A and B are shown apart, each in its own frame.
Chain A
Amino acid sequence: MSTGSIQARAEGWLGNNDVRLLIALALAIGGLYALFSVVLGFQLNGTVNTLRRVAFLSAIYAMLALALNLQWGYAGLFNLGAAGFMAIGVYTMGILTAPVTASPPGFGLPLPVAILGAILVTGLIGGLAALPAIRLRADYLAIVTVAFSEIVRLTLRAPEFANTRIAGVAFGTGGATGLSLPSNPIRILFYTDPAATAPAPNALGAAIFSAVEPLGIEETLVIGWAYVVVLCLCLGLLYWLMVRIGKSPFGRVLKSIREDQQVTQALGKDTRLFKIKTFALGCALMGLIAILWRLSGGYASPRMFKPIQTFYIFIALFIGGTGSPTGSIVGGALFASLLFEGPSFIRRVVAESLQLSNAPDTLVAAIVELGSGDVIPLLAYSVQDVSISALRLMLLGIVLVYLMQRHPDGLLGHRKAIASSVDLSQRETREDDYE
């Protein structure tokens, strides 16, 4: 491919309104956080770290929303068990990579092999889980899958499987304590021996670390940002994949299954196979995305895969609007940056700017203070760590109610990308018709 055609392609991408919208959104969110941090005089390292965290979660939730959109937005498969499939992905990877000598022991496989294995296992289990439910209506599939995801979580937490031996093979989930995962693979870019506790940087690592050190930016932050860049590449790839699927004859069948399964079947499409394939693929992707998520922390625990995790993804999807990949990314980014991370950021802003003293122990105590005209105790009370997660849930509820009332189709509205690999407005094949 010549440089000219690459340039033409890049221009084509940038000329695409959806891509522009996504870039603008990323800049707006980043700008908002940066602005607040600068105005409030946060340290550079902290600010860059806040941005990293927001970008990280945005990319993860955007990808999860894309995977869920494949199932729910494209095919109308109501998968309320996303968290369960994420857990299967992460734990399969964890068990496959854990050294044979570790406690709990694993299979000691290299990470890429383990990730591939985890994708296959998650996809397979997704397909199997869909089998009995695939003939059912959407709401029954939802019940089956939410139950399934809880079975997965409770199984992973059960002490019986924490360190077990089946057919002579020793392995374990770690039970309630959780499971250690391999260290962040991106470290290999910066360190000669990434597995060591205090590794020596390689040439690239040394160069970058010394360049940012005067700015007060720590090594871990550089690694974190490098990982975010990788995630964004994955997000771009997944987006491209979803657009492709949406425009393909396969996607066209999914679209019609969502509308009327009986008609689709009467037109000669084996709808069961389409649904199972879609469900399996979506689940496999969720497993992979969860692996990308948890690899950054190096640790997995059943607590991470509660049903609320599934609802978070659904809310992200609803915000952007189901059915369109662009909507999934918008929803994922807005959810993660404003609804999920927003409250804790505001807590820090409030805490730092008002120099809050100790918060009262109870809400009543805080309200009593109001009587003397002092609002600070109430404010301090409501921005404690504990109250923030409660506030977050309240905020989510309010946003959900508002969306359902005012924008039932999501912020991007009802977007209908035409499901066809060719431009349908042209009747005859022309020379310039090739994509």
Chain B
Amino acid sequence: MSKNVQSAQRDQTQNGQQEQILTVKNLRKTFGGITAVADVSFHVEKGSITGLIGPNGAGKSTTFDLITGVQRPDGGAVEFNDTEITGYRSDQVANQGLVRTFQIARELSEMTVLENLMLAPQNQVGEAIWRAVLPRARTQVVEQEKALRKQAWEMLELFEIEHVAHESAGNLSGGQRKLLEMARVLMTDPEMVLLDEPLAGVNPTLEEKLIDRLHTLKEQGYTFLFVEHDMDVIMNNCDTVIVMHQGSVLTEGQPDTVKNNDKVLDAYLGEEVTI
């Protein structure tokens, strides 16, 4: 059964009312002789939590990089909200409302947690140097800064990290960094967030908290695509699961279907799988 038929079937099962927010078509990337991403096509539905799984080296992170402009694809196309964003720089992708986190939390360690959050919002008037300096234009900057400050504190409350607001991000624990990174991308006011292993190195209590937030945010209309290795997390929380193997999409579908797919099992057990 081809992927397209599968997707069509799922769309039907969900009343066919889903809107696609991200579409990836035949994405390809090679590094020298190594093909990291061979031919990846999938789509993500608006307002969903979609899981991207696959064994190590399946090309998940590279796919993320290609979608978000960290690397340029050798072929294929990425569409976000009906706009073709293939080959966009990562800042352009982010400005479209598609942001990402990194596999290893990359907090800006010398900046405080609040500074990290204040950095993220788009279209800050004070990012024009003359407005930062000229007194009259600066009132505008200060007004916006106050609004952002309020927003930042709300975000800290949502992720329950208010107590470290003034701490340098570098002093946070691994789990707190993950929370911060999540809070920071949300401050950009995105439509969709790509999370690269958001739960790696996070303790169970915090993990629960993060997943809980994910669902709250989903209710608010955000879309998530996330890479994760914990099968239980994926199976219990995702609307759709995409399985990658050796640079291609092995299968995609609802968690229950994917879980019982023999090819997926084989791929994880290291068997040869024909796609």
Shortest CB-to-CB span from B151 to chain A, Å, is 11
A267: contacting residue among B99, B131, B133, CB under 8 A? B99
Q: Is the CB of A427 within 8 A of B149?
A: yes
- Complex-state Cα separation, A251 to B124, whole angstroms: 12
Q: For residue B124, which residues in chain A have a CB less than 8 angstroms away from its CB?
A: 249
Task: Check A266–B94 contact: CB distance below 8 A.
Answer: yes
A268 B94 Cβ-Cβ under 8 A: yes
- Mark the stretch among B73-81, B114-122, B264-272 that contacts chain A: B114-122
Partner of A259, one of B68, B111, B114: B111
Interface residue? B259 (CB, 8 A):
no
Are B94 and A267 interface neighbours, CB within 8 A? Answer: yes
Residues on the B chain within 8 Å of A265, using CB: 89-91, 94
Evaluate contact between B188 and A422: CB separation under 8 angstroms: no
For residue A269, CB closer than 8 A to chain B, the reply is yes
Partner pick for B91 among A270, A416, A426, A435, CB 8 A cutoff: A270
Contact of B111 among A244, A255, A422 (CB under 8 A): A255
Instruction: State A170–B114 Cα separation when bound (angstroms).
Output: 57
B110 touches A416 (CB 8 A): yes
- Which one of B11-19, B140-148, B235-243, B250-258 contacts A? B140-148
Give the distance in Å from the alpha carbon of A424 to the alpha carbon of B153 in the complex.
9
Residue from A250, A251, A416, A421 in contact with B142 in the complex, judged by beta carbons closer than 8 Å = A421
Q: Do B118 and A252 have beta carbons less than 8 Å apart?
A: yes
Q: A253-B127, A424-B149 are in contact. Are A269 and B91 (CB under 8 A)?
A: yes
Q: Is the CB of B126 within 8 A of A248?
A: yes
Assess the B70–A262 pair: CB atoms within 8 A: yes
Let me know if A212 is at the binding interface, CB within 8 A.
Answer: no
Total A-B pairs, Cβ < 8 A = 133
- Of B31-39, B43-51, B101-109, the stretch lying at the interface with chain A is B101-109
Question: Chain A residue with minimal CB distance to B101?
Answer: A266
* B120 near A267: Cβ-Cβ < 8 Å: yes
Contact with B along A409-424 (1 / 0, CB 8 A): 0000000101111101
- Given contacts A250-B128, A267-B94, A428-B150, whether A418 and B112 have CB atoms under 8 Å apart is yes
Size of A's binding interface in residues, CB under 8 A: 41
> Nearest-CB distance from B89 to chain A (Å)?
7
Chain B, residues 83-97, CB within 8 Å of chain A (1/0): the string is 000000111101100
Q: Could you tell me the distance between the alpha carbons of A382 and B125 in the complex, rounded to whole angstroms?
A: 58
From known contacts A256-B108, A420-B145, A428-B150, infer whether A262 and B90 are also in contact, taking CB-CB under 8 Å.
yes
Chain A contacts for B150, CB-based, 8 A? 427-429
Partner of A241, one of B70, B102, B109, B133: B133
Query: Shortest Cβ distance from B207 into chain A, in angstroms?
Result: 23
Q: Please give, as numbers and ranges, the residues of chain A lying within 8 Å of B225 by CB-CB distance.
A: none
Known: A248-B132, A419-B111, A426-B149. A266 touches B100 (CB 8 A): yes
User: A181 to chain B: closest CB distance in Å?
Assistant: 29
Q: How far is the CA of A253 from the CA of B111 in the complex (A)?
A: 11
Q: Provide the residues of chain B in CB contact with A416, threshold 8 Å.
A: 110, 112, 168
Q: Are the C-beta atoms of A256 and B129 separated by less than 8 Å?
A: no
Which residue in B99, B118, B126, B131 is a CB contact (below 8 Å) of A266? B99
Chain B contacts of A263 at CB under 8 A? 102, 106, 108
Q: A277 in the interface, Cβ–Cβ < 8 Å? A: yes
Residue A133 is within 8 A (CB to CB) of chain B in the complex: no
Closest A residue to B190 by CB, please name it. A268
Choice from A244, A270, A426 contacting B133 with Cβ under 8 Å: A244
Distance between Cα atoms of A420 and B121 in the complex (Å): 13
Secondary structure of the B side of the interface? helix
- By the criterion CB–CB under 8 Å, are A260 and B127 in contact? no
- Could you tell me the distance in whole angstroms from the C-beta of B103 to the nearest C-beta in chain A? 12
Say if the beta carbon of A359 comes within 8 Å of chain B: no
Is there a chain A Cβ closer than 8 Å to B28's Cβ?
A: no
Does B185 belong to the interface (CB within 8 Å)? yes
What is the minimal beta-carbon distance from A286 to any residue of chain B, in angstroms? 17
Residues of A within 8 A of B213 (CB): none
Give the residues in chain A near B92, CB-CB below 8 Å. 270
The one of B115, B120, B153 that contacts A255, using a Cβ cutoff of 8 Å: B115
Q: Does B229 contact A (CB under 8 A)?
A: no
Complexed CA–CA distance, A271 and B185 (Å): 17
- Taking a contact as CB atoms under 8 Å apart, the answer to whether B141 and A266 are in contact is no
Q: Is the CB of B119 within 8 A of A252?
A: yes
Chain A residues, CB < 8 A from B3: none
How far, in whole Å, are A251 and B119 apart by their CA atoms in the complex?
10
CB-CB under 8 A for A267 and B188, given A248-B126, A251-B132, A259-B110: yes
Q: Which residues of B contact A435 (CB under 8 A)?
A: 142
**Contact residues in A for B120 (Cβ distance below 8 Å):** 267-268
Q: How far is the CB of A262 from chain B (nearest CB, A)?
A: 7
Nearest residue (CB) in A for B68 is A266
Q: Is the CB of B129 within 8 A of A281?
A: yes
Instruction: Indicate whether A268 sits within 8 Å of B111 (C-beta atoms), given known contacts A256-B119, A424-B149, A426-B149.
Output: no
Tell me whether B184 is interfacial, beta carbon within 8 Å.
Answer: yes
Chain B residues in 8 Å Cβ range of A244: 132-133
A260 touches B122 (CB 8 A): no
B166 at the binding interface (Cβ < 8 Å): yes
Query: In the complex the two chains form, what is the Cα distance from A434 to B131 in whole Å?
Result: 17
Return the chain B residue nearest A249 by Cβ.
B126
Q: Which 5 A-B pairs have the closest CB atoms?
A: A248-B132, A268-B94, A249-B126, A249-B124, A259-B108
Given A424-B152, A434-B142, 6 additional A-B pairs, CB 8 A:
A245-B133, A250-B128, A250-B132, A259-B111, A267-B119, A419-B118
Instruction: Name B's A-contacting residues (CB within 8 A).
Output: 68, 70, 89-92, 94-95, 99-100, 102, 106, 108-112, 114-115, 118-120, 122, 124-129, 131-133, 138, 141-142, 145-146, 149-150, 152-153, 165-166, 168, 184-185, 188
- Seen from chain A, the residues whose Cβ lies within 8 Å of a Cβ on chain B are 241, 244-245, 248-253, 255-256, 259-260, 262-271, 274, 277, 281, 416, 418-422, 424-429, 433-435
Q: List 29 A-B contacts (CB under 8 A).
A: A248-B129, A248-B131, A248-B141, A249-B118, A249-B127, A250-B127, A251-B132, A252-B115, A252-B119, A255-B110, A255-B115, A256-B119, A263-B106, A265-B89, A265-B90, A265-B94, A266-B68, A266-B70, A266-B100, A267-B91, A267-B120, A268-B120, A268-B188, A270-B91, A277-B129, A420-B145, A422-B142, A422-B146, A424-B166
